[in-house]
Amino acid sequence: MSDTCFGLGTPVLRQTSKPKMSGEREDILLQVNHVRYKKNNGQLYLSQSRVGWMMDDSDTFAVSVQYSDIRTQKISPEGKPKVQLQIVLHDMTTHTFHFCTPEGRDKQVIERNQTKERLAQLMDKRKRLPPDDLVQKKRMLDENEQLCQLYKDLVATEIISGDEFWKEIAVQYKNNMGPNQDVGISGAFLADIKPQTDGSNGKVQYNITPEIMLAVFKTYPAVKKKHSEYVPHRMSEAEFWTRFFQSHYYSVHTNSSSENVFSECAKYDDKEWNRDVGSAKNDPLCDLIDIYEEKPMSIESDIRIAGAKAGSNIMHATMIKRFNQQSVGIIKAHAYTEREKLLDELAAQNPDSLPNGDEEPEVEVHKSKKARLEEKVTYDDLQGPSKVESASLTINQTHRYLIGPTEYTTVQNLEPRQVNILQQQLVATVSNWKPDLPHSQDPDAAYMNLQQFSDMCRRSRTSAGIRSGDELPGKLHKELTLVYSSAGELLRHFWSCFPPRTPQLQEKLHRMHQTLCRYHEKTIRPFRDMAVNDYNCNTTILDHLLGMINIANTKYENWKSRNSR
Amino acid sequence: MLQDDDEQDNKYRWAASGYEKTWEIVGEDDSGRIEPSVTEMIQRARRRRLLEREASVRLGIMRHVFVILDMSQAMSEQDFKPTRQICTLKILEDFMKEFHDQNPISQMGLISMQNKTAKPCSNLSNNPQRLLEAIKKLLEAPCRGEPSIQNALDVALSSLRHLPRHTSREVLIIYAALTTCDPGEIETTIKKVKEANIRVSVIGLTAELHICREISTETGGSMSVSMNDVHLKELINEHLEPPPASVKMDHTLIKVGFPHQVNTDAKAALCMCHLDELPALNTRGYYCPQCTAKYCDLPAECRVCGLMLVTAPHLARSYRHLFPLKHFIEEPSQNISATNCYGCVKPFTDSSADKNVYICGTCKQVFCFNCDIFLHETLHSCPGCASNPSISQYHSS
């Protein structure tokens, strides 16, 4: 019997056979006995990468869930007799565990809370994974009707498989989808919560939206921790936020009774502030450590220079300190988001990577006092405008732009004397010309030509009528449009493979050609037959589309014959 | 202690120190209107700018331009009548029509910034109709919240990044707010924009912000702040001209198709540009020479084979950049014997507008101030040279 490996925080020491999770030896970080699942007694295990539940007297896991699959966890409210923990997965399935230690309800609650905290920590660590594929695919289909239609046409009729569809065709749409946008924190987010006073009672009403809550959590991480601890079982949301607004974060005069919730936050914030100020050693001209202390007034010659009077009034000093803390909090929240985004991008590029440690803190460059003074003295705006480097254009053969390619004709050079004579001859001929209209053309031939001409015009006008879209019944017209749309997409992917320089493009070209042939067989032929039989239509209705497919086919054949030589 | 006894002749110190009394320049003309003198000032500034533009510089003629418009609370101010939002949108409408006229092979898109996010109102397209519809919708949208430059640049970047390297990628930001509320570090976005070779220009309506100035200098764009609505129109119209190409732009041969309008053996087809609304099945339109897809209007980019479809007149419009009209020589009107302008046949008067006349270097004809601006900005050819057979026949430029 092998021993169990324990990590930190194991509440119960037991020697049991170490369960093998899918053939690997994993460290168990937390084990809780007397946990019921679906009315069976068993134990709950938390390991490095997953949570599992095993029934008593069994050595296989009935439930084993990776942390990356867990979307969120919930606990049963305070008043309920059953102490439960529920895990919700990404695909909306749930697992509910019931803590039933015989040692009493309090112990159950302690165990449950311990489990919940550990689970939350482990889930957070695992969260940095590539974005959920399924959600993204759904989003793409929702946003692009054309893609949705194409999906139905191609995958539903089994012309290409689903995987191929997402790999080949949807890639371009994925590139065109806009980025997921995050929202920054406005500097005035607390000030914008304009409380409304109810004149009669003296009650003040604050309207809080989820965005404001998010902004508060991002700026003050201590408050976020408190919120997750207290809500919903110790305090309701409304109560928490009322206490928040009464605390030092929002009002100058704090109520001593509500101190207990946020006083720890105040201590945490002060510690953070001292740490930040101490690390901002970048600027030798700016010394932040003692800005809240009272400075003696320095007297120079006859003029009194007043020192920073922040410390003169304790209230003012405290307020200014709180303002500064809020600003620092906002800036740090932004920097944190940026780091998260960077790590997300890295994770998306290598989905199987694991972080191998925390990142190093950034090393700040020390600027010497001299460099800093120089910076203060020079202004970029006052320097002269810098010359922008631009590419120059020289046109060598201008006449090629102005005269199109002409045939090479020999030009006869004439002397000016000859030009004059020719000019006089031209003038004479024009002035002596007598028009002879009745004999300029044969009347019968002219009449026949005119008849033929008007006949052709009439014919072309009516044939355009047959071909015009007014003649098509509505439903057929819509279906034709859809067929054109899907075929157009396929052809677009086909043409994008040319010229096929890389082997992947060549592969894709072969596949697209096959897809086109199959599409032609399965969709276009039946459509044409249906159009002719059901709607009694002209058989030329799909000629153009077939022509496009033929041209694509010819191009493919040409390329193949040229390449296989 | 600080009183100067020199200034006893009732002049203010600031007046004596060479302060420019700009209000004295504006005067009423004979009919009692002030407007002509103001427009004259603007025209003179315009002419000065034309002179600065150099010839023989390679330009990026195939342009992909995103216009990022600020729709935050600052746009509802009324210092530009009736509100900044309406004034700017009307100017943008004219700008987009002109842009499509003068840059037929370029594409334009529209993004709006509101409530700390950016919304793409119209994707890059050749067709000005979609843009004009997007602008109409924005006219009725309320202006709220704070703008976010980072989000807007991210949205523009995601579209511009995938374009081929030989096109000129530009972004024009019209900014009225004095703050920006971004979710992260804007420095990283600026770096990404610079790497993607995008040229960002900013036109401010309120004041110049340090971050706007930094973005435009880092990416090689221009930054300006408008004083009134006429000035704003001018600043926006400056972007009608193609910018000089950056040295990093590739120069390659581009395949272009010239469809014929009359096709004798064409088959009836649905057009690919209107597949969303039910198009008619007929033979009217242009067929792509490579894949025979049909389009109603040119210029267009073939959606099937990716070929650029233009007509010859569209390309010929860019000739004015290759062979620009040379600048006219400025001379005081007393020295010239001609009494009328060759372009508009208006007699030269003694007013301040006709103080200088302009002479074409090639054909030596005399033009007035207005004709000079018109010929250089709109017509791009000299009527004197065109009507002179010996000059026009041998194309000596």
Average pLDDT, chain B: 83
Q: B395 and A402 in contact by Cβ < 8 A? A: yes
Residues of B in contact with A477 (CB under 8 A): 278, 281
What are the tens digits of pLDDT across the range B260-317? 876 667 777 888 888 877 777 777 888 888 888 888 888 888 888 888 888 888 888 8
Asked whether the beta carbons of residue B182 and residue A480 sit closer than 8 angstroms, the reply is no
* Among chain B residues, CA nearest to A498: B305
DSSP class of A301: T
pLDDT tier at A5, thresholds 50, 70, 90: very low
pLDDT over 80 at A16, yes or no = no
Burial of A386 (0-12, 13-18, 19+ CB in 10 A): exposed
- pLDDT at residue A219, rounded to an integer: 79
Tell me the shortest Cα–Cα distance from A284 to chain B, in angstroms. Answer: 23
Smallest CA-to-CA distance from B383 within B355, B358, B352, B347 is with B358
Q: Among B246, B283, B294, whose Cβ lies nearest the Cβ of A467?
A: B283
Q: Which of A337, A468, A491 has its CB closest to that of B304?
A: A491
Contact A101, A33 (CB under 8 A): yes
Residue of B nearest to A386 (CA): B217
Task: Give the integer Cα–Cα distance in Å for B299 and A274.
Answer: 63
Quote the minimal CA–CA distance from B379 to chain A in Å.
17
In angstroms, the CA B235 to CA B184 distance is 31
Distance, in angstroms, between A348 CA and closest chain B CA?
17
Q: Residue B282: its chain A contacts at CB < 8 A?
A: 464, 467-469
Q: Please give the residue of chain B at the shortest CA–CA distance from A387.
A: B220
Task: State whether B303 and A488 contact (CB < 8 Å).
Answer: yes
Identity (one letter) of the amino acid at B340? N
Cβ atoms of A45 and A28 closer than 8 Å: yes
Per-residue three-class SS string for A491-554? HHHHHHCCCCCCHHHHHHHHHHHHHHHHHHHHHHHHHHHHHHHHHCCCHHHHHHHHHHHHHHHH
**Cβ neighbours around A51 below 10 Å, total:** 27
| Mean pLDDT, residues B86-109 taken together | 92
Say if the Cβ atoms of B281 and A403 lie within 8 Å. no
Q: What is the b/e burial string over A139-152, where b = at least 16 CB atoms within 10 angstroms of the residue's CB?
A: ebbeebeebeebbe
Backbone angles phi, psi at B366, to 5 degrees: -110, 135
Q: Is the pLDDT of residue A469 over 50?
A: no
Torsion of CA A299, A301, A303, A308, to 10 degrees: -30
Nearest Cβ partner of A495 from B245, B280, B305? B305
Mutate to test the interface with B, among A466, A485, A544, A553 (most CBs of B within 10 A): A544
Q: Is the alpha carbon torsion for A387, A393, A394, A395 positive or negative?
A: negative
pLDDT in tens, B169-196: 999 999 999 988 888 888 889 999 999 9
- Whether B291 and A552 lie within 8 Å, measured CB to CB: yes
- The answer to whether A176 contacts B159, with C-beta atoms less than 8 Å apart, is yes
Residues of B in contact with A330 (CB under 8 A): none
Contacts of B59 in chain A (CB under 8 A): 393
- Give me the pLDDT at residue B56, please: 67
Task: Characterize the bridge pairing of strands A196-198 and B308-309.
Answer: unpaired
CA A113 to chain centre: 35
Q: Cβ–Cβ of B268/A544 closer than 8 Å? A: yes
Q: Give the CA angle between residues A379, A384, A385 to the nearest 5°.
A: 110
pLDDT in tens, A193-213: 777 776 666 677 777 777 788
Using pLDDT thresholds of 50, 70 and 90, give the confidence band for residue B71.
very high
CA A487/CA B253 separation, integer angstroms: 29
For residue B243, give how far its alpha carbon lies from the nearest alpha carbon of chain A (Å).
10
SS3 assignment, position A439:
helix
| Alpha carbon of A451: minimum distance to chain B alpha carbons (Å) | 21
pLDDT in tens, B314-337: 888 877 777 788 888 888 888 878
Best of B52, B68, B263, B267 to disrupt the A interface (most A CBs within 10 Å) is: B267
Q: How many Å apart are CA A341 and CA A348, to the nearest integer?
A: 10
CB pairs under 8 A between A and B: 159
Per-residue confidence at B350, pLDDT binned at 50, 70, 90? confident
* Distance in Å, alpha carbon of B359 to nearest chain A alpha carbon: 25
Percent of chain B residues past pLDDT 90, beyond the cut: 27
Cross-chain Cβ contact A178/B155 below 8 Å: yes
Token reading at A201: 């009672």
**CA distances (Å), A471 to each of A152, A463, A541, in order?**
28, 12, 11
Cβ pair B278:A477 closer than 8 A: yes
How many C-beta atoms lie closer than 10 Å to residue A216's C-beta?
22
Residue among B151, B162, B267 whose CB faces A540 most closely: B267
Output the DSSP codes for B97-164: HHHHHH-TT-EEEEEEEETTEEEEEEEEES-HHHHHHHHHHHHHSPP-S---HHHHHHHHHHHHTTS-
pLDDT tens string B194-214? 999 899 999 999 999 999 999
DSSP class of A411: P
For residue B243, list chain A residues with Cβ-Cβ distance below 8 A. none
Which of B179, B186, B291 is the best mutation test for A, with the most CBs of A within 10 A?
B291
Q: How confident is the model at residue A15 (pLDDT cuts 50, 70, 90)?
A: very low
How would DSSP label each residue in A364-404? Answer: PPPPPHHHHHHHHH--STTSPPPPPP--B---S-HHHHHS-
Cα–Cα distance, A45 to A31 (Å, whole number): 5
Q: What is the mean pLDDT of residues A243-252?
A: 70
Distance CA B87, CA B273 (A): 32
Residue A309: pLDDT over 60: no
Rounded to 10 degrees, what is the CA torsion of A233, A234, A237, A241? Answer: -160
For residue range A398-412, what is the model confidence (pLDDT) as tens digits? 777 777 666 677 677
Q: Which residue has the higher pLDDT, B366 or A171?
A: B366
**Confidence at residue B16, expressed as pLDDT on a 0 to 100 scale:** 62
Chain A residues inside the 8 Å CB shell of B188: 338
Q: Is the pLDDT of residue A444 over 80?
A: yes
Q: How large is the average pLDDT for residues B231-235?
A: 90
Q: From A467, which residue of chain B is nearest by alpha-carbon distance? A: B282
Q: Which residue of A150, A176, A183 is the best one to mutate when testing the B interface, meaning the one whose CB has the most B CBs within 10 A?
A: A183
CA distance A335 to chain B (A): 6
Per-residue pLDDT at A23 exceeds 50: no
Q: Tell me whether residues B272 and A491 touch, CB distance under 8 A.
A: no
- Over residues A10-24, the mean pLDDT reads 41
- A47-56, A183-192, B164-173, B233-242: which range is least confident on average? A183-192
pLDDT exceeds 80 at position B373: yes
Considering only CB atoms, which chain A residues are within 8 Å of B56?
392-394
pLDDT of A320-379, one tens digit each?
A: 777 787 787 777 777 777 777 777 777 666 666 665 666 565 555 566 777 777 777 777
List b or e across A367-378, with b for residues whose CB sees 16 or more CB atoms inside 10 angstroms.
Answer: eeeeeeeeeeee
Residue B209 amino acid letter: L
Strands B63-70 and B168-175, how do they pair? parallel
Tell me: pLDDT of B148 over 60.
Answer: yes
Higher pLDDT, A252 or A234: A234
Q: Give the mean pLDDT of B118-126.
A: 88
Per-residue confidence at B97, pLDDT binned at 50, 70, 90?
very high
Q: Does residue A299 carry a pLDDT above 50?
A: no
| Nearest chain B residue to A173, by CA | B159
Q: Do B155 and A467 touch (CB under 8 A)?
A: no
Please report, as a single letter, which amino acid is at residue B358: Y
Residue B290, C-beta contacts closer than 8 angstroms, at least 6 positions apart: A495, A551, B257, B302, B305, B307
Rounded average pLDDT over A40-52: 82
- CB–CB contact A183 B148 (8 Å): yes
A565 CB neighbour count, 10 Å cutoff: 5
Q: Check B306 against A496: CB less than 8 A apart.
A: yes
Q: Do A544 and B294 touch (CB under 8 A)?
A: yes
Pairing of strands B300-301, B308-309: antiparallel
H or E stretch covering A55: strand A50-55
In three-state form (DSSP H/G/I as H, E/B as E, the rest C), the secondary structure along A337-353 is HHHHHHHHHHHHHCCCC
Checking if the pLDDT of B11 tops 70, the result is no
- Which is more confident, A238 or B13? A238
What does the angle CA A513 – CA A516 – CA A517 come to, to the nearest 5 degrees?
Answer: 90
pLDDT band, residue A466 (cuts 50/70/90): very low
User: B281 phi and psi, to 5 degrees?
Assistant: -95, 100
pLDDT class of A220 with cuts at 50, 70, 90: confident
pTM for this model (two decimals): 0.70
pLDDT in the model for residue B192: 92
Higher pLDDT, A65 or A364: A65
Here the tokens at position B60 are 């990026």
Using CA coordinates, name the residue in chain A closest to B118: A181
- According to DSSP, the residues that pair with B366 across neighbouring strands are B359
Instruction: Verify whether the Cβ–Cβ distance A492 to B303 is below 8 Å.
Output: yes
Question: Testing the interface with B: which of A153, A172, A176, A181 to mutate, by most B Cβ within 10 A?
Answer: A181
Nearest to A464 among B57, B59, B282 (CB): B282
Cis peptide before A232 (omega within 30 of 0): yes
Average predicted confidence (pLDDT) for chain A: 73
Identify the residue among B124, B154, B270 best suited for mutation to test binding to A, counting A beta carbons within 10 A and taking the highest.
Answer: B270
Q: Which residues of B touch A391 (CB under 8 A)?
A: 57-58, 244-247, 249
Q: What is the maximal distance between C-alpha atoms in chain A?
A: 132
Give me the phi and psi of A191, to 5 degrees please.
Answer: -70, -25
As a whole number of Å, the CA-based R_g of chain B is 25
